[in-house]
Structures are given as structure tokens and as C-alpha cells.
Amino acid sequence: MRKIKFTSWQDGEFYLGFLNDYPDYLTQSMSREELTDNLKSLLVDLESEEIPYVRKVEELLVA
């Protein structure tokens, strides 16, 4: 098991969110529980290379 950070918010009746490492891939749902399920499913798709040309946020060390 691992921890994955995500950002979420409620807009009217919808819950929206994205995985912090993949901010270009937004998902939505009618409940917070459904949102977390959607995010887990999205992560599987992103890591299995099911989605082409995935953009990812990374860190760069600069001296």
C-alpha cells in the first residue's frame, strides 16, 4: 500500500479532483467516495500506459 496525494473540491453537487503528480487528468463524481474510486482507477490507467503521452509533475534539484 502507498500514499498518493490528490487535490479535490466540491463545485455545486459535483466533487472534482486530480492526482497531484498528474494535474492534467481531472475526474469528477457525485460523492467523495466515488471521487476517490475514480482517482484510484485513473492512477491504474496512467501507470499501465493505457493513456498515451502522460504528463507528470516532477522535481528538479538546482544548485
The model's pLDDT over 36-54, given as tens digits with 9 standing for 90+, comes to: 999 999 999 999 988 889 9
> In whole angstroms, what is the distance from residue 30 CA to residue 15 CA?
6
What mean pLDDT is predicted for residues 3-14? 97
Provide the pLDDT confidence category of residue 25 given band limits of 50, 70 and 90. Answer: very high
Stretch (H or E) spanning 14: strand 14-19
Please identify which residue in the block is written with the cell numbers 500506459: 49
Could you tell me what percent of the chain has a pLDDT over 70?
100
3 state SS of 27: strand
